[in-house]
Amino acid sequence: MAFSLTDHPHRRYNPLTREWVLVSPHRTKRPWQGQTDRPATAERPAYDPECYLCPGNERAGGERNPDYESVYVFNNDFAALLPDAPEGGNSPAPGPTPSAGDGDAKTRSLFCARSERGICRVICFSPRHDLTLPRMEVDQIRSVVDAWTEQYREIGAKEFIRHVQIFENRGAMMGASNPHPHGQIWATESIPLIPHREIEAQAEYMQEHGSCLLCDYGRSERERGERTVVETAHWLAVAPFWAVWPFETLVLPKAHRASLLELDEEERGDLAALLKELTTRYDNLFLTSFPYSMGIHQAPTEGLTPDGYHMHLHFFPPLLRSAEVRKHMVGYEMLGEPQRDITPESAAERIRQVSATHYLSEG
């Protein structure tokens, strides 16, 4: 019997994080038989007087929003990080692993901590309470992309900031406490664990092969086509070969770009167009406002110039078979390694099959 990626259990390697995922395609020969019902969705108003993100309303921290008409950015009233946190701890140098410092080395390795300064901001994508990215116009999404770019520039210029993480948690299933369209920024003086792994992996690939990991990967995916979800003139969205989540996608600029700051006007506009199409296809997959966590990984803003670094966006949606059935990380996945039944190839095909025209009339 010949081995087949579509029929037999196997492990796939993620070169960005240097981790493995177990794939078990034989467990679900017909993965699309699950229920595809659309859950009851209450229509949301364009303005909610009780929403602390709507224009003119008072926020939970007591501040009042201006009557903003486009994208609005403010410091998080209940920030996870503070710019004036005092220095302290027994690992003086930031990094993914403890470094030398005062005290006994053995004890320090068991009980290692250090202070962490940072900045947390909220980005309201629109004054409209009832919108989401797929329901916004491309030029409105372009304003969001421009705001991401300016925030990366402004926050990254601060002396103590090394990494700017821009992300969106969409939907209550992903922990979003407010349905008003918004994202967040967490900027830190250390480079977080996962971005640090990706930086090291891309630098080592460049050193070993003399080329960019994600340039090579994107080119190969475009040639193969089987995992491509959306392609525009300047961007590519694929269900990555090593995907963990059932409908996970990776978004790449076709040209080598380290950060949003390197994108030209056309590339920014094209990113907005891709985001609208991708998120619209997500919504149409199970006829629901599709939940996900999305994040932009780009070059650190201070202290490190990655060799061969290529910016990208991750979309991690939790849904598995319907609007209500989600994937959970349990058992073997918490104790061993991630596992999936639906292959990335079949997931990409399923997303490609749905319409790119948004079906929802309500939020």
Q: What is the per-residue pLDDT across 90-149, written as a single tens digit (0 to 9) for each?
A: 876 556 666 655 556 767 778 888 899 999 999 999 999 999 999 999 999 999 999 999
Cα(76)–Cα(185) distance, integer angstroms: 9
The predicted structure's pLDDT at residue 188: 97
Residue 154 lies in a domain: yes
Residue type, 355: S
* pTM (2 d.p.): 0.93
Q: What average pLDDT does the structure give for the chain? A: 91
**pLDDT of residue 259 exceeding 60:** yes
Q: Which of 129, 163, 180, 182 is catalytic?
A: 182
Rounded to the nearest 10 degrees, the angle between the axes of helix 344-353 and helix 265-285 is 90
Tokens 């901001």 belong to residue: 121
Longest dimension (CA), the chain: 67
Quickly tell me which residue has 């309201």 as its tokens: 124
182 is catalytic: yes
- The answer to whether residue 285 is domain-embedded is yes
What's the mean pLDDT in 305-309? 77
Give the position of tokens 């061993």: 336
At residue 2, does pLDDT exceed 80?
Answer: yes
Assigned domain for 104 exists: no
CATH of the domain at 56: 3.30.428.10
Residue 35: pLDDT band (50, 70, 90) is very low
Would residue 268 count as lying in a domain? yes
Mean pLDDT of 336-351: 95
Does a structural domain hold residue 170? yes
Q: What residue numbers bound the domain in which 25 lies?
A: 15-82+117-353
User: Is residue 22, in this structure, part of any structural domain at all?
Assistant: yes
* Contacts of 104 by beta carbon, 8 Å cutoff, 6+ apart: none
| pLDDT, tens digit (0-9, with 9 covering 90-100), for 162-201 | 999 999 999 999 989 899 999 999 999 999 999 999 999 9
Domain total for the chain?
1
Lowest mean pLDDT among 126-140, 220-234, 346-360: 346-360
In angstroms, what is the C-alpha Rg of the chain? 21
**CB 65, CB 57: distance < 8 Å:** yes
360 within some domain: no
